[in-house]
A and B are shown apart, each in its own frame.
Chain A
Amino acid sequence: MINQSLATLSQMLAEKQVSSVELTQIFLDRIDTLNPDINAYIALDQDRTLAQAQAADARIAAGNALPLTGIPIAQKDIFCAKGWQTTCGSKMLENFIAPYDAHVISQFDAVGAVNLGKTNMDEFAMGSSNETSYFGGVKNPWDLTRVPGGSSGGSAAAVAARLCAAATGTDTGGSIRQPASLCGFTGLKPTYGVVSRYGMIAFASSLDQAGPMAKSAEDCALMMNVMAGFDERDSTSLNREKEDYTRYLNQPVSGLPLAGLKIGLPKEYFAEGLDAAVANVVMDAVAEYRKLGAEIIEISLPNTGLSIPVYYVLAPAEASSNLSRYDGVRYGHRTDQYADLMEMYCKSRAEGFGAEVKRRILIGTYVLSAGYYDAYYLKAQQIRRLIAQDFAEAFKLCDVILGPATPSTAFKAGEKVDDPVSMYLQDIYTISTNLAGLPGMSIPAGFAQGDDGVPLPVGLQIIGNYFDEARMLNVAHQYQQVTDWHTRMPDLTAIEGVA
């Protein structure tokens, strides 16, 4: 049951083979058993969750079901959900109960999906290992000594360990795709502006984008049908006609499933820094695509190397301003003892924020300061346009771009916590698409042996042109028709046995 696709679960619900309450209870029980070890969830509320399941069952009985009605979904704790503790992985918001729903949450509510709980994440989505969470690290279900990636580490572990039917994530520099790669499932970051950011706690507003994290491209397409769409409460939300993201899934171009598809391989993504075992898995996947009829060409994204420095100017700049509202005045953490306003600000923020968040606030404040703005912020904005231009040139030559999602497989917990630059390099292949606003996804492409011999998932990244999500989902889906990497599950019997 827990390994079924969303389409199958939906059918089973429709045919009354299982009720939403039963299905939800299966996941809640599994969470009960596994979450103490994996720590994928920050907040659970069985009563609230089961009430939604009951409502879904009534809706199904009344014949008003939609594809995700009654399906238990895990929500990243970055989305405000009315009545739910909404922490963004921070002590600052440890006791914050959201009084309103994010657009994404209300979209899922509207179709009658069930909110299973709020998933763990790096504090304010700043991190690539989920180790900056105030609520503790998340374990990678494939190897509990390793990280699941981040910042959507809780959602990633929940999907991989089948602690939910599917999950939501957000991706500012790779926070959906990197954990999808490290935990072996399918994650999609849509074109900037496709999913409303309303109620999604801001990290870097010009880069943040929500997307689905699920077992397959098909599941992601069904999730996208719920999440995407114009929202007038977000000025950067794009007013486009509603689309059906499943529409190209099974549509062959002609003859072979992917005949006529031109795939670009950016040479910069296969250069120094890429783990050889990861490179091998990615090249095997490329070979598979050739068999499906695609044409493979080499392309160049010459400014790839600048993406990390540009990102680490722009994202902290926006974050330093976005996080100013956490001042202890109206909500969130306020220090116990203070003599005056300034001390109240300083102590509340010193106590409420973790080290990585502070580091980025400091960097962001610095690059926006008088005398440094032109050299850092403005220069970074200029390079950002060059990076977008690289992609525009590339998409004149190919339909989609393939490459690794991450330079290596999942690393050990604690391995990079004291080396921020090495941590930041985790996102070398994913950050450019955020800077350009392009959609990107990671799909399971095989396994590589870790340094201690444990096989770990490897993700293949697919980057498309603006609004090409449906085409990318087709490209991923066709691959998932001829491979079974996406159906593999980590062996968790050791923990399950204990419980």
Chain B
Amino acid sequence: MEWEVVIGLETHAQLQTKTKIFSGASTAFGAEPNTQACEVSIALPGVLPVLNKEAVHCAIKFGLAVDAEIAPRSVFARKNYFYPDLPKGYQISQYELPVVGKGAITIQVPAVGKNPAYEKVVNITRAHLEEDAGKSVHGAVEGMSGIDLNRAGTPLLEIVTEPDMRSAAEAVAYAKKLHELVQWIGICDGNMQEGSFRCDVNVSVRPKGSDKLGTRREIKNLNSFRFMQQAIEYETRWQIETLEDGGVIHQATVLFNPDTGETRAMRSKEEANDYRYFPDPDLLPLEITEADKAQVQLLMPELPSAMKTRFETQYGLTNYDAATLTASRDLADYFVATVNAGAEAKPAANWAMGAIAAKLNAEEKSLADSPVSAVQLASLLKRIADSTISNNAAKQVFEAMWNGEGEVDAIIEAKGLKQVSDTGAIEAIIDDVLAANQAMVEEFKAGKEKAFNALVGQAMKASRGKANPAQVNEILKAKLGA
């Protein structure tokens, strides 16, 4: 039987607000335990929550970015359960009426093997505001567990998709797209190591062609895209094998172990929780007016989809190039800065997506740390455009710039890479080449086109790569009477 995997994601994005969602305590990461825990964070008797408007702005931004319904009235609810790092004994979240309703995100699924790249729309079910819990710290005190409430009350936007994804690649492409989007619109720093962006993945399988969903298992707290890919692939195989062996899938929460590459169900007790949700009487319903939305709209950056279309029309880029550049805010900004510094669009795009991306990737650096700035890249591309150097020479110059050997013109000078465009000089070289390669000349005249390229190669070699290839071509053609 052929199987189909069905995947939906729930993502917790920590919002980049200065203070917590219901108190004035700082949200900065990495402080000494419990130094960012005010009386509200500790849940002292008598304290009350007050909603941070900045967190609401973040939610509205996200709603606008995914073209979603933004609820004119949403409600905070209490999710009741006991846990040491949950100081109130309940989490303030949104349940029946979330702030953001149905929306959609278009993703680019990269090519895998012989399967080509494609676009897909993933539907967003909802996104809601809630507070993060604290952290249990084990091992800090001998024989005891510690509680750090610095994170308690950090604002989260939980973003839930429809079960729209059909492969690990699609799920990862969605997660990456979402990861980029929340950073793009400035609501989340996207730091997965610090837990700013955490994904839970719901996975089920069903016979291909069936429209009935299988029983799902939820893989919790994946903090890297690679683990997500591995976890989904393992989980999918496990579910298919279980069903093919005549087994039954039980709804469960599972954890991924990166060391073994396997998923394993957590205690089934977890499933028995009844969270007794009810509207939080300490908070008024959240009301968002058209004016509020309009105000946030003014703060919205150009979205990737709009920027992609603009890149196609304004810079004449292909759909693929525009999509690749706008897959990341940093890359898009880098490209635009390169063009604004005087480079032509197409080579700027090629270099940004090619040489720069490859270098960064190899050295695990981000664009912010790139040794070659957009202005520097533009100065290099200008030297190609004005025929000062050849494309080949440009690669050497780029290497040197990357290694911090100086600015473009100085490197060209130092390495003697300046292209020879003096017609007389090139003619002299070609004359020498023709004289020394009479056999090739004969072959060419006999109709062997390939011999022409060989002669160009000889001429370039003789100029030690510095002759302008276009001129070499032209002069050679003239001299051979071609």
| A330-B89 contact in complex given A234-B48, A235-B282, A321-B80, C-beta closer than 8 Å | no
- Report if B385 contacts A (CB, 8 A): no
A99 at interface, CB cutoff 8 A: yes
- From A80, A206, A370, give the contact of B281 (CB < 8 A): A206
Q: For B46, give its contact among A198, A235, A318, A329 (CB under 8 Å).
A: A198
Closest chain A residue to B149, Cβ basis? A330
Residue of A nearest to B76 (CB): A235
Interface centre among A102, A324, A365, A370 (most CB of B within 10 A): A324
B39 proximity list for chain A (CB < 8 A)? 99-100
Whether B48 and A233, one on each chain, are in contact in the complex, defined by CB atoms closer than 8 angstroms, is yes
Given A325-B87, A368-B80, are A201 and B147 neighbors across the interface (CB < 8 Å)? no
Taking the nearest CB of chain B, how far is it from the CB of A160, in angstroms?
A: 27
Judge whether B208 is part of the interface by a CB distance below 8 angstroms: no
A88 within 8 A of B: yes
On chain B, the residues within 8 Å of A321 by CB distance are: 78, 80, 89-90, 276, 278
Q: Does B355 contact A (CB under 8 A)?
A: no
- Residues of chain A contacted by B42 (CB below 8 angstroms): 330-331
B88 lies within 8 A of A235 (CB): no
Tell me the bound Cα distance from A136 to B149 in angstroms.
36
CA distance A321 to B81 in the complex (A): 9
CA distance A358 to B223 in the complex (A): 41
Q: Does A476 reach chain B (CB closer than 8 Å)?
A: no
Scan residues 360-396 of chain A and give those whose CB is less than 8 A from a CB of chain B.
365, 368-370, 373, 377
Task: Tell me the smallest distance from the CB of B284 to a CB of chain A, in Å.
Answer: 6
With contacts A96-B45, A201-B45, A205-B281 taken as known, whether A369 is within 8 angstroms of B276 at the C-beta atoms is: yes
Q: Please, what's the 1-or-0 string for A342-364, where 1 marks a CB less than 8 Å from any CB in chain B?
A: 00010000000000000000000
Query: What residues of chain A lie closer than 8 Å to B276, measured between beta carbons?
Result: 320-321, 365, 368-370, 373
- B50 located at the interface, meaning its Cβ lies under 8 Å from any Cβ of chain A in the complex: yes
Q: Given known contacts A201-B46, A369-B274, is B90 in contact with A324 (CB within 8 Å)? A: yes
Please measure, in the bound complex, the distance between the C-alpha atom of A236 and the C-alpha atom of B50, giving whole angstroms.
9
Could you tell me if B45 and A235 are in contact, using CB atoms closer than 8 angstroms? no
CB distance from B92 to the nearest CB of A (A): 11
When C-beta atoms are compared, the residue in chain B nearest to A88 turns out to be: B45
Query: Hey, what's the 0/1 contact readout for A59-96 against B, CB within 8 Å counting as 1?
Result: 00000000000000000000110000010100001001
Using CB atoms, name the residue of chain B closest to A378: B278
Q: A200 to B278, Cβ gap below 8 A?
A: no
With both chains docked as a complex, state the minimum distance between the C-beta of B274 and any C-beta of chain A, in angstroms: 5
CA of A102 to CA of B89 in the docked complex: distance in angstroms?
22
A162 at the interface (CB under 8 A from B): no
Minimal Cβ-Cβ distance residue in A for B39: A100
Closest B residue to A92 by beta carbon equals B45
Given A99-B39, A324-B88, A370-B274, are A331 and B282 also a contact pair (CB < 8 Å)? no
Interface residues on A, range: 35 or more
Interface of B: prevailing SS: loop
Q: Mark A182-209, 1 if CB is under 8 A from B, else 0.
A: 0000000000000001111110111000
Q: Is A499 located at the chain interface by the 8 A CB criterion?
A: no
Docked Cα-Cα span, A317 to B45, in Å, equals: 18
Nearest residue, chain A, Cβ from B22: A235
Bound together, the chains give a CA A391 to CA B276 distance in angstroms of: 31
Contacts of B39-95 to chain A: CB distance below 8 A:
39, 42-51, 78, 80, 82, 84, 87-90
Give, as a whole number of angstroms, the nearest-CB distance from B18 to chain A: 17
Can you list, as one digit per residue, whether each of A157-172 has a CB less than 8 Å from chain B (1) or not (0)? Answer: 0000000000000000
A232 within 8 A of B: yes
Q: Does B283 contact A (CB under 8 A)?
A: yes
Question: In the complex, which residues 222-279 of chain B have their Cβ closer than 8 Å to any Cβ of chain A?
Answer: 274, 276-278
**A327 beta carbon closer than 8 Å to chain B:** yes
Q: Are B44 and A318 in contact (CB under 8 A)?
A: no
Q: Are B284 and A236 in contact (CB under 8 A)?
A: yes
**B contact residues around A324 at 8 Å (CB):** 80, 82, 88-90
A341 is an interface residue with CB less than 8 A from chain B? yes
Chain B residues with CB under 8 Å of A377's CB are 278
Out of B84, B281, B284, which one reaches A318, CB within 8 Å?
B281
> Which residue of chain A is the closest to B24 with respect to CB atoms?
A233
Most buried by B among A86, A327, A369: A327
Closest CB in chain A relative to B313 CB, distance in Å = 48
Q: Report chain A residues within 8 Å CB of B47.
A: 198-199
What 0/1 pattern do residues 307 to 324 of A give for CB contact below 8 A with B? 000000000011011011
Tell me the bound Cα distance from A326 to B45 in angstroms: 9
What sequence of 0s and 1s flags, for each residue 459-473 of chain A, a beta carbon within 8 Å of any chain B beta carbon? Answer: 000000000000000
Contacts of B51 in A (CB 8 A): 235
| Residues of A near any B CB (own CB < 8 A) | 79-80, 86, 88, 93, 96, 98-100, 102, 197-202, 204-206, 232-236, 317-318, 320-321, 323-327, 329-331, 341, 345, 365, 368-370, 373, 377
Give B contacts to A, CB under 8 Å: 39, 42-51, 78, 80, 82, 84, 87-90, 147, 274, 276-278, 281-284
Jot down 11 A-B pairs with beta carbons below 8 A, ordered by A.
A80-B45, A99-B44, A199-B47, A201-B45, A202-B282, A232-B50, A235-B50, A235-B51, A324-B89, A325-B88, A365-B276
Known: A233-B48, A235-B50. 16 other contacts (CB 8 A): A80-B45, A80-B46, A93-B45, A99-B44, A100-B44, A198-B48, A199-B46, A201-B45, A204-B281, A233-B50, A234-B50, A236-B281, A236-B284, A329-B147, A341-B84, A369-B276
In the A-B complex, list the 10 residue pairs whose CB atoms are closest, starting with the nearest. A324-B89, A206-B281, A368-B276, A205-B281, A199-B46, A201-B45, A325-B43, A80-B46, A201-B46, A370-B274
